[in-house]
Amino acid sequence: MIFLKGYQWPFDVRKANDSSIVDLLCAEETKKGNRVYLDFRRNPRGLENGFEALSEEAYDYLNNSNALFGTPIERLSKMNEGAIELYASHGIDLYSERLEIAVCAQHCNGGVTVDGAWQTEIEGLYAAGEAAGTFGVYRPGGSALNSTQVGSIRASEHIASRGTVIPESTDYKLPEIKYGESNVMSLMKELQHEMSCAADFDRNLGKMRELYKKVSYLADDFFNVAVISDNYEMNSLFKLYDTVLTQRSVLSAMICSGEVIGSHGSAFVDRKPAKDSEKRTTRTVTRGGVSELCNVSPLPNGELWFEKLLARSRTSKKGI
């Protein structure tokens, strides 16, 4: 914070809890329509006369990395040349230009309900990774990729063991499509922008409720509101429909857990700190656009014996 002396904080930084203040500041600016850059060529204010102004953690980090010298680009070059090369391969030269940044949404910590084979409630439809609700609220660092890979392998093993399931009928009534002056792209942009403003990691309950109302109305009346100019836009139309339905479900889940639990995991709700050390025994379950809290299943302790699990895994591989 020493480097931001005189800066007018747009929020009470003490309430930021363990959310990163830099993330919050960056999100704040991009929500206003501003662009945020990292400049690796110059040291930030406060480091003109040495590194003593750094926090103990930052100082130790650089010291342990033998990088307590020079400019940011010189330090990055010492610690991780690969990062510089990666950006260079995308046409960004960190030695001569600034790097535009934004906070991205990662680890949803929620998603489609799946069983032990990562199969959803729709037979034959599987979800793994960010799309599946398997990460847990406080996913330990590094476990997202594991969960994604394990889920994908489990799903493929399950599919291989049981063969293809072809539903007898799709039972889907084709909607009547409206043609005219297309509004599909403008609606998509508007919804994406509003979702980023209300429901990114820095969530606002009031704005999420407003957006939920708008998206629910749109979902119910979608094929009357959305217009395409010709059939070439059919893909975009259904992508927008998918976006609207997903937003409605996701917003309903975010509002439900925001109202009952508040800030948790990677969600910072109304800038209020998380209630510490509260053991979570519930999960948010969403059907369509309606969410509720349900109790989690107890851990099957008796089952967690390595040899038993190994035997079970071998049996399931044989497709039994």
Ligand X SMILES: Cc1cc2nc3c(=O)[nH]c(=O)nc-3n(C[C@H](O)[C@H](O)[C@H](O)COP(=O)(O)OP(=O)(O)OC[C@H]3O[C@@H](n4cnc5c(N)ncnc54)[C@H](O)[C@@H]3O)c2cc1C
Query: Could you give the CA distance from residue 320 to residue 316 in angstroms, rounded to a whole number?
Result: 5
Q: Which is nearer to ligand X, 236 or 316 (CB)?
A: 236
Q: Minimum distance from CB of 105 to ligand X (Å)? A: 8
- Does residue 142 bind ligand X (CB under 6 A)? yes
Q: Minimum distance from CB of 142 to ligand X (Å)? A: 4
Select the residue interacting with ligand X from 33, 140, 145, 181 (CB under 6 A).
145
Q: Which is nearer to ligand X, 145 or 299 (CB)?
A: 145
Task: Break the chain down into helix, strand, coil percent, rounded to 5.
Answer: 45, 10, 45
Q: Minimum distance from CB of 243 to ligand X (Å)? A: 9
- Does residue 144 bind ligand X (CB under 6 A)? yes
Phi, psi of 202 (to 5 degrees): -100, 85
- Does residue 130 bind ligand X (CB under 6 A)? yes
Give DSSP secondary structure letters for 225-279.
H-EESSGGGHHHHHHHHHHHHHHHHHHHHHHHHHHHT-SBTTBEETT----TTPP
Q: Tell me which stretch binds ligand X (CB under 6 A): 26-34, 47-55, 138-146, 207-215.
A: 138-146
Q: Minimum distance from CB of 113 to ligand X (Å)? A: 16
What residues between 105 and 124 interact with ligand X by CB under 6 A?
106-107
Tokens 């100082």 sit at which residue?
59
Q: Minimum distance from CB of 69 to ligand X (Å)? A: 27
Query: Could you give the CA distance from residue 212 to residue 286 in angstroms, rounded to a whole number?
Result: 14
> Is 129 within 8 Å of 156 (Cβ atoms)?
no
Phi, psi of 234 (to 5 degrees): -60, -40
Give how many residues touch ligand X by CB under 6 A: 11
Task: Give Cβ neighbours of residue 176 (< 8 Å, ≥ 6 apart).
Answer: 223
Task: Give Cβ neighbours of residue 258 (< 8 Å, ≥ 6 apart).
Answer: 203, 205, 208, 267, 269, 270
Q: Print the binding letters for residues 78-107 with ligand X: x by CB under 6 A, - otherwise.
A: --------------------------x-xx
Q: Minimum distance from CB of 282 to ligand X (Å)? A: 23
Give the footprint of ligand X on this chain (CB under 6 A). Answer: 104, 106-107, 129-131, 142-145, 148
